[in-house]
Amino acid sequence: MFRIETDRARFREIVRGRLRADLRKYLSTTELLGRRGDRYVSIPVPQIELPRFHYGENKKGVGQGKGEKGEPLPGEPKEGEGAGSAGEEPGTHILEVEVELEELARMLGEELELPDVQPRGDRQLLSDGGRYNGVRPAGPQSLRHFRRTYKNALKRTIAAGEWDPARPKVVPIRDDQRYRARKSSPQPDSSAVIFHVMDVSGSMGREQKDIVRIKAFWIDTWLRSQYKNLEVVYVVHDAVAKVVDQESFFHLRESGGTKISSAYELVLALIQEKYRPEDWNVYPFHYSDGDNWSARDTERCIHLLRDEILPRVNQFCYGQVKSAYGSGQFKKDLDSALEGEERLVTASVNDREGIPEAIKAFLGKGR
Amino acid sequence: MADGRTLPPALQDEALRIEAVAHEEGLDFFEVHFEMLDAKDVNAIAAYGGFPVRYPSWRFGMEFERMEKGRRYGLAKIYELVINNDPTVAYLVRTNSSVEQKLVMAHVFGHADFFKHNVWFTPTDRKMLDRMADHGTRLRSFIDEMGQDRVETFLDRALSLDTLVDPYLPLAGHLQKRRDEPRGPGGASGARSLDALLDAPSARAGPGRLPTYDVMGFLAERAPLAPWQREILRLVRAEAYYFAPQRMTRIMNEGWASYWHSRILTGGVLSASELVDFADCHSGATAAVPGQVNPYKLGIDLYRTAEARGMDLFRLRRVHNDASFVDALLDEEFAERSELFVYGRNGRTGRTEVLERSFPEVKEKLLQELAWGGLPRIELVEDDFEGRGELFLVHRHDGRDLELASAGETLKGIAELWGRPAHLVTVEEGQSRRLSSDGAQVKSNEAPSPGPAPKTEAG
């Protein structure tokens, strides 16, 4: 009956067009962060209304209710709070539109010309893509298969000679009941784990962390579209490394020295214990401003990478965020010591505008 | 007779019972078709302005998206939807409780009576369901012929102008016609098709003549358009005129329906045990939203005030629109009792706050809001400005400024349709301002003079 779904689809198409056109903008702002659910990102879309002659916001109006002269209306900020009025004109309404993560990833892929990830080797995990298309004689009432149950009861009634066409009554008994059952059908699948490793030493400021956040958001979005099961592990380090939850990852501010090897050791330990490369596609991303404690520790990092980590991962990405205090030496060291290592990608980001390029460098190889 | 084919038998019986009471009370309406649907489907129909058969547009999809969000998050709930048509069509939401359904049905009969008898609705097309379906068919055939993008672009432009109609025009034309041609024996139907009225030369200045508030009519008549474009503009205009009276009578219409659902239901339709649920639901709908005017509440209060003064309610509902209704009934005592006030923005704090509670200001402000259906009055005064074939429009400023960015874009659309530049004079913060567009760019200048001398204002 309803054509509304067609019109709704058309509206969403227009929204997607806008989003695609503005994707570069979203790639360098924190606007979308925290708007992500499991499958959808909710994106605010302003100004999609048709232009019309309408009143601006300076207008007075008539209201109803209590309140002395000079008293603010309900919903207005109290004395001393910041000003700011919610738009009441149609033109300023903001509508949030949900876009599937997959779709957003596709736009990102198109915008940055990212290739699909090629699974490592020909190993494939089999996962249970079960569907309720089996039948069995026991189960919960909510899964009762009415048609089969009725059929059985009917057959039994006829076989027992109790069928009366004039009074076609069929009463199912216990043995007639049939229930839908889950039948598993193995499907090729693969899992991946991302390690977001961030340097939280004193030199990483708010802006640097925001850049890391934005990058992490888009990298997750992309890899989520490539793998059905994606786990994300957050690691922070200064002189020691530890696993933290997402919230702390983005808000923690530590200070002190930097010992990058501590983080690499932790990642390696996690790979060996929990995310074995036979079962997982492994993607460590490390973000730092490039200041390490000592040349000796950098030596240790290079050794860990070359001999232990790189052989076990799909790709190791090092993103160096420029900060006022960082020397940026670490990237130079990695580049010169590990030149020619296919699985190592390094990129430096000076500011937000550099984010898309860094993402492209990380994800552009299709590993 | 109420037709409740899609209603469950128990509700169908209720519909007939409530209808009988409504008739006894003196309400009179076209046949009312009830349909019961899921909330989602009612939202879909509401997104189409009540017409599931309407032409395709992403705007309806957007509206639906918005309403569905409100419903899913529990912010908005729709109980019913009534369409001004013969027969009157009313959609009930399946999830309404039984008391809610009774309330809603009584409410619907109130609306149905209002649609049939309020004078502002007399020129509306009572076969609008069919008409909308025709419009849909036309638009779809244009899309097949011309491609979706072209038709959509033009339709959007037309829709952006759909407030540029003269809400008083159809009735003026209707009354004029009635005076001109005494009704013959067969012509007792009263209402005439909107087209005949709008195109009648005696209707105010008539389409294509100046000055006019019917900018859409002027453009549909005179702009250099392809036939399909002209047709789209005409049908968007016809729909705008169909909806205009609803904007002009919101308080009256909702007040009338609420007055009657309350009176009918408490007059014996409900059992004693249902009255509490009814009171809960009724008071929910007519509650004063803090800081805002609720048309249901203001409307029902005005009718009750009129009733207390011994006035003829049926006559009131026939002859008034919101502005004249409020003008006739709102006095100091009522304003005080209803706690009405004027709000506005305090320039110092940036907050919206209570500015004024004194009666003359409150009434004046309310009347201003209600006049012209709450829209800015934009008059087209010249079509050959300074001898260059350019359009000149004047915003009849009443203290409320336009949102200029949006106004500029709208003006751009007008210039594009007209094929020549268009100008609009308005006022911004006390300073006269002239917007000009050639269809591609918009310029905004301080205007020393308000443009051509204002013609007599109507309304």
Helical segments of B181-271, H only: 194-199, 215-222, 227-248, 250-264
Please check whether residue B80 is in contact with residue B254, taking contact to mean a CB–CB distance below 8 angstroms: no
A246-260 average pLDDT score = 76
B403 lies within 8 A of chain A by CB: yes
Of residues A1, A62, A85, nearest to B342 (C-beta):
A62
DSSP state of A60: -
- The predicted-structure confidence for B341-359, as pLDDT tens digits, reads as follows 998 877 777 778 888 889 9
Give Cα separations from B388 to A129, B210, B421 (angstroms): 72, 16, 9
Contacts of A25 (CB under 8 A, 6+ apart): none
Reported as a single tens digit per residue, the pLDDT across A310-323 is: 999 989 999 998 88
What is the pLDDT, as a whole number, of residue B191?
A: 43
The tens digit of pLDDT for each residue in B289-324 reads 666 788 899 999 999 999 999 999 999 999 999 999
Measured between CB atoms, does A46 come within 8 Å of chain B? no
Do B93 and B7 touch, CB atoms closer than 8 A?
no
Instruction: Provide block-wise average pLDDT over 10 residues at a time, chain B (459 residues).
Output: 68 94 96 93 94 93 87 79 95 91 94 96 94 96 94 95 92 74 43 47 57 94 95 96 94 95 88 83 74 86 95 96 95 92 81 87 92 92 92 92 93 96 93 94 79 45
For residue B183, the tally of other CB atoms under 10 A from its CB is: 10
B430 touches chain A (CB under 8 A): no
Residue A336 sits at the chain B interface (C-beta within 8 Å): no
Residue whose structure tokens are 């005179």: B222
Strand pairing report for A344-349 and A316-321: parallel
So what's the pLDDT on residue A328? 80
Nearest CA in chain A to B364: A62
Size of interface A-B (CB pairs under 8 A): 191
Q: What is the pLDDT of residue B291?
A: 66
Report the mean per-residue pLDDT for chain A: 81
Q: What share of chain B is helix, strand, coil (3-state, %, to 5)?
A: 55, 15, 35
Tell me whether A115 touches chain B (CB under 8 Å): no
Within 10 Å of residue B17's Cβ, how many Cβ atoms? 16
Which of B 351-370 lie inside 8 A of A, CB atoms? 351-357, 362, 365-366, 369
**Cis amide prior to B167 (ω within 30 degrees):** no
- Strands B88-93, B32-37: parallel, antiparallel or unpaired by DSSP? parallel
Whether ipTM exceeds 0.90: no
The pLDDT of residue A91 is 36
Pick A88 or B135 by higher pLDDT. B135
Query: Do residue B58 and residue A61 have CB atoms under 8 angstroms apart?
Result: no
Helices (H) and strands (E) in chain B, counts: 18, 10
Using pLDDT thresholds of 50, 70 and 90, give the confidence band for residue A89. Answer: very low
Give the orientation angle of helix A355-363 with respect to helix A206-226, to 10 degrees.
Answer: 40
Chain B interface includes A8 (CB < 8 A): yes
Per-residue confidence (pLDDT) for residue B446, from 0 to 100: 86
**pLDDT tens readout for residues A195-227:** 999 988 877 878 888 888 888 888 888 888 888
**Among B residues 126-155, those touching chain A with beta carbons less than 8 Å apart:** none
Confidence of residue A246 (pLDDT cuts 50, 70, 90): confident
Closest residue in chain B to residue A53, using alpha carbons only:
B407
Closest-CA distance, A220 to chain B, in angstroms, reads 27
pLDDT at A164: 87
Q: How far is A112 from chain B (nearest CA, A)?
A: 28
Query: Looking at residue B207, what is its pLDDT?
Result: 61
Interface test with A, best of B42, B43, B59, B62 (most A CBs within 10 A): B62
**A4: which chain B residues are within 8 Å (Cβ-Cβ)?**
44, 47-48, 60-61, 64
pLDDT of residue B190: 40
DSSP B75: S
